[in-house]
Structure 1
Amino acid sequence: MSSMPGMMRSPTFREPEQDSTGNRAAVSHWHSTLRISGMKSILRLLLVAVLAGCAPRPAPRVRVVVSTTNIGAIVAAIGGSRVQVATIAPAGICPGHFDIRPSDVVVASEARLLLNQGWEQWFPKLLQQAGNSRGVAVTCTTPGNWMVPPVHLKAAAEVSGLLARVDSAGATVFASAARSYAARVESIANEVQGMFRGRALPAVIASAQQSPFLEWLGFRVVATYGRPEELTARELMELARVALDSGVGLVVDNLQSGPDVGKPLAEALGVPRVMLTNFPGTEGYPQTLIANAMTLRSVLE
């Protein structure tokens, strides 16, 4: 059948003519060459398959559930690709006042390591509902405010050890990552303190959650306050009196405690007010530390 116009013709392979002894030898050599070439191709494929089977497979990531971004930021930085971290309480809300969700129970039931800071009243309920008998639940023992660099570094050393506890094969990796992370945090912390060193810093009234960080930077905190539901009219008047007596020049709110708690006080005093976060955001601890410092510096210029 002749090909229709426009259709592609299939390639045609012709063997050498077999009308003489020389031609028959050529045909035999041609067949032999094809067999050898085919065997080499098969051997190559077998070799690739064997090597692929022998190549080390990546270890499954350790599932870690943490109560706060304080812990989560450290786990992510030190654990790297060896961990899969799930943070229960988002950075923008107070982890002490949090309602667990069904999805939180699911991830907790599948975790190999479950970490909290000890003051999350909902965490025992999460563990109970998760019913995870194979997971290791640990309350971190590093005291203090984890947003303050020296405290954060102690917490990082503790978390590194906890990761090695459930993934001993990765202990060396975790230790190395912890050293690199500590060096980075120390470097940034020095830069942040340098932003305020030598400046005439104003006296401050601040959220109790921000007081340790402000004092680490060199500010003099003359009084603190708590959450809005804890602040009575009498306490507000007392804060105003202290502020006037101390020449307060700045009010610092804490995002997770309620962003506008100090607003009436700042307006009454006629001084600037800023809001800082007490928990790392999704960008990690170092960047959150820088962001807090930049916010503070902006009101001093």
Structure 2
Amino acid sequence: MRHFLRPTVALLFAALALLTHRAHPAEHAVVITTTSTLGAAAQAVGGDSVSVETILPPGSCPGHFDLEPAQVRRLLACELFLRHDFQSFLDGRLLANGVARDRIAALPAAGGLCVPDTFVALGRAAAEALAVRLPGETEALRTRAEALAHEAQTRGNTLLARTARLRGKPVAGALHQAAFLRWLGLDVRCVLPGGDDPTPGAVSRALTEIRATGALAIVGNVPSGRRLPSTLASRGPPLVMFDNFPPSPRACRLLGHARPQRRPPARRAPRIAPCRTRSSPSPTSPSATPAGHCWTTSRLRSHAAVSPPCSAPTAPVRPHCCACSTANSHPPPAPAVSSAPIRPHSTGAAARRGVAESA
């Protein structure tokens, strides 16, 4: 009897272990993305089937960064790695270190990353890439992608209605924000020069063009740097800084719900007023699907991406780094990043300290 029970019990435990091993990856496939925008798209369409991690911290340039050895090792263990189509410089190192080519997916972005249609396209592309790795989830992935598209369209229409008074207003915008500004209906008469070099010559030429076009505001792009736009704003129209990458890959950080704002000290000049939710809805629900954060200024009010209207009246708040950012009395959750540090080339030590403090 004893000889009979031992192999039976062993087989039972082996079967349970096998079932557990098969069920767990299907429920929580690890998906690593380069930016929080891709992370939000993957989380929105993947729902409870995926666990999303993001490499780059907020404020980093997505086109100039180094992968640390610990991050490469983490990528070896993930089910899928999603990158932007302009980040092909990563593939050589990943392939050389043993990451399978079929686990790397490049998601194209035809327009500005804050434009709703662009985010919807990223969501659908992420769903198809995940379907290859998780064939049993194909129908659910595509269903969530369509729910994301519907949510983005609804919130986009709401945003356009709220910003209708901005249509036709002349602005000077950063190259990587021009598409979103045009989607809002603004007249982008001047595109800021690339780079972040506030040399006298660059500042003089840009100011001449801005003044000639009659721009009412300057819209900068956080990853491109704020030195040049800040210098221009000190001698010209007011400055608003937008970012295509929210501080968290949560879906609600992009398309989130109506959110309260906080009021800063009365002495502060009216500037950008970000908002965020106090709690994160389930990524599987349609209401949790992504696309941007709220911003307001005394001269220019708009919502980057497909953010909903704020529930509280507009209030001036300390300027934050992006139009897809959050701020209220609760500190925003830190993005999921690898334990090894990233070395973004476009941000200085002060910027990296700011990211660390906010995390």
Give the structure-2-normalised TM-score.
Answer: 0.62
Question: Deviation at 1:259?
Answer: 2.6
- 1:159 and 2:126 matched: yes
CA contact (8 A) 1:164 1:170 kept: yes
Relative to structure 1, the CA distance from residue 192 to residue 130 in structure 2 (aligned partners, 3 Å threshold; closer, same or farther) is farther
Q: 1:169 to 1:248 in 2, by over 3 A?
A: same
Q: Which amino acid aligns with 2:121?
A: K
| Structure 1, unaligned runs of 5 or more | 1-48
Secondary structure at the residue paired with 1:262? Answer: helix
Residue of structure 2 equivalent to 1:295: 296
Distance in 2, matches of 1:96 and 1:133, equals 22
Matched with 2:254 is 285
> Comparing 104-113 with 125-134, which one deviates more in the overlay?
125-134
Alignment partner of 1:113 is 2:77: no
Aligned-residue RMSD, C-alpha: 2.8
**SS of corresponding position for 1:116:** strand
Deviations 1:188-224 (A, max 9, x none): 1111111111446531112111111111001111111
Q: Is the 8 A contact 1:108 1:130 kept in 2?
A: no
- Larger helix proportion of the pair: 1
Query: Could you state the TM-score of these two structures normalised by the residue count of structure 1?
Result: 0.73
Alignment of 1:45-84 (within 5 A): 57=23, 59-84=26-51
> For residue 181 of structure 2, what is the aligned residue in structure 1?
214
User: Where do 1:117-266 residues align within 5 Å?
Assistant: 117-120=84-87, 122-128=89-95, 130-133=97-100, 136-199=103-166, 202-229=169-196, 232-266=199-233
Q: Distance in 1 between matches of 2:185 and 2:297?
A: 12
Change (3 A) 1:66 1:296: same
2:296 aligned partner, one-letter code: T
**Deviation, structure 1 residue 226:** 4.3
Partners of 1:297 and 1:77 in 2: how far apart?
33
The question of whether the paired residues in 2 share the 8 Å contact of 1:204 and 1:249 is answered with yes
1:17-76 Cα shifts (integer Å, max 9, x gaps): xxxxxxxxxxxxxxxxxxxxxxxxxxxxxxxx9xxx899956342222222222111001
Partner amino acid for 2:219? V
1:260 offset after TM fit, Å?
3.3
1:276 maps to which residue? 242
Conserved? CA contact 1:116–1:140, under 8 Å: yes
How many pairs were matched up? 248
Residue type at the aligned position of 1:286: L
More displaced 10-residue stretch of structure 1: 151-160 or 230-239: 230-239
**Distance between the aligned counterparts of 2:53 and 2:130, measured in 1?**
14
Q: In structure 1, how many angstroms separate the alpha carbons of the residues matched to 2:39 and 2:93?
A: 17
Q: Which residue of 2 aligns with 1:27?
A: none
Instruction: Give the letter aligned to residue 182 of structure 2.
Output: E
- Which residue identity lines up with residue 28 of structure 2 in the other structure? R
Change (3 A) 1:275 1:202: same
CA separation of 1:142 and 1:253: change in aligned 2, threshold 3 A: closer
CA drift at 1:141: 3.0
Does the 8 Å contact 2:190/2:213 carry over to 1? no
Gaps of 5+ in 2: 1-11, 257-289, 302-313, 315-359
Q: CA deviation at 1:265?
A: 1.0
Verify the 8 A CA contact 1:142 1:158 in the aligned structure 2.
no
